[in-house]
Chains A and B, each alone.
Chain A
Amino acid sequence: MFRSNRSSCSHRVMQAESSEGLLQRRAEVRRRKLLLNSEQRMKKIVGFSQNEADRPARVLEPRFHLDLECNEPWSSSCSSNRLSPLVSDPSESSGEEDVSGGVQQRLAGSPRRGLQKYVSRFDDAMKLRGQLSAEKTAQDGGGEELDSFCVFRLVCSVALAVFVRIFVCQYLSIFAPFLTLELGFMGLHKYFPKVEKKSQSTMLTAALLLSGIPAEVISRSTDTYRKMSGIFSDLCVYFFSFITCHELLLLLGSDMS
């Protein structure tokens, strides 16, 4: 009986030992599985998984591609490839990715370009936003000052209008001397100190920039508009001075025409 008890005890001890060993073996297997799948798990955490590679291209956000197996030194080509999860380097692609690798490379060209375009426009938009907010405070404080050439133009317009009213208007149209004056201004412009006109970014220029129109075209159009606006201001001042002078002369009763 004692022997049977002893045997049953030892059997139980053996069972316990074997179960403990089994538990340890299972733990060991789990640990190995964790270590082997760590890369996939990291990709999942970062946001790229194997399933997403099979889906059609999502180019909305650039994602950081972690590649623990790549032994190549860090280079620009390598880094640019890593920017998009859709691009897979053939040297590092595993067997499972080979099937979708070709599809990914075909898709990588146009979405990446589109993504880069979007990112560059987004940067421009953020810069313009900063400029707009800065210029709004500047505009609230004070507008554009009249430079010396502007003042010269206005004074010349007034003087010419008075001169034309007194001496010239009975012989020809008042707009002919004005056109001559404007031609003269175009020639005299270079003799005056150039004032750097700060390009004012408005909502319109921001919208034009974001819709794809080059900045150079916008700046040239703005420059042309500014010049036309200057000529229109001169014309208004000239005409106003002419009419005012005419009315004052009528009022004073002098008939010099």
Chain B
Amino acid sequence: MAAGFNWFLVLSSVFLCNLIKTLLPSISSFLSKIFQKDADQEMEMRMEIQNMKMELSTVSMMDEFARYARLERKINKMTDQLKTLVKSRTAQQAKMKWIVNIVFYILQAALMISLILKYYAEPVTVVPSKWIAPLERLVAFPSGIAGGVGITCWLVVCNKVVAIILHAVS
């Protein structure tokens, strides 16, 4: 019975990998939000700049030039600080995205290699060899069993089908 579900195991693994791949951007943004320290500070700075800009709009440049200039300088200084903060946050997000992608691809490669090593000698399923003639050797690679469906052929087929399904769904 377990042998009869090899094909399903490989299919599930491929489906899981492709599904996680489509969700990678969401995962990386979620993780970057968790590890972000200055989110509140950034929000406060934005609010403060907005308040100062509203105050600046009420101040007359002609009548209270000193106050106007002081306020404008404060706004510029805070805007520069905010820009620096946003820059560092963006860099951190890019770094997180890069790390998540690298980790995913390593795990995916490890999973695929382990599946190939597990089913190197035995096919994932067996059908009568005349059904898949004249490509039985290619389909059976690397197991070499006549009529068998080898792991590489099944991996390629599953990858393609799952990609089409996920593309159609998304």
Interface residues of A (CB under 8 A from B): 143, 146, 154, 169, 173-175, 232-233, 236-237, 239-240, 243, 246-247, 250-251
Contacts and interface: CB of A to CB of B under 8 A. Distances in A.
A226 B123 CA distance: 31
B168 A146 contact: yes
Question: Which of A143, A146, A154, A236 has the most chain B CB atoms closer than 10 A to its own CB?
Answer: A236
B85 to A, nearest CB: 25
Contacts of A143: 167
* Interface SS, A side: helix
16 contacts: A146-B167, A173-B130, A173-B131, A173-B132, A174-B131, A174-B132, A175-B134, A233-B164, A236-B157, A236-B161, A237-B161, A237-B164, A239-B157, A240-B160, A240-B161, A243-B127
Contacts of A154: 164
B133 A173 contact: yes
B20 to A, nearest CB: 18
Contacts of B160: 232-233, 236-237, 240
Interface in B124-170: 125, 127, 130-135, 149, 154, 156-158, 160-161, 164, 167-168
Contacts of A169: 131
A243 B131 contact: no
A21 B94 CA distance: 78
A243 B134 CA distance: 17
Interface residues of B, number: 21
Contact of B4 (A175, A236, A237, A250): A250
A156 to B, nearest CB: 14
A243 B161 contact: no
B104 interface: no
A175 B132 contact: yes
B149 A243 contact: yes
B68 interface: no
Contacts of A173: 130-134
A243 B125 CA distance: 8
Contacts of B157: 236, 239-240, 243
B125 A247 contact: yes
Q: Which 5 A-B pairs have the closest CB atoms?
A: A236-B160, A240-B161, A173-B133, A236-B157, A169-B131
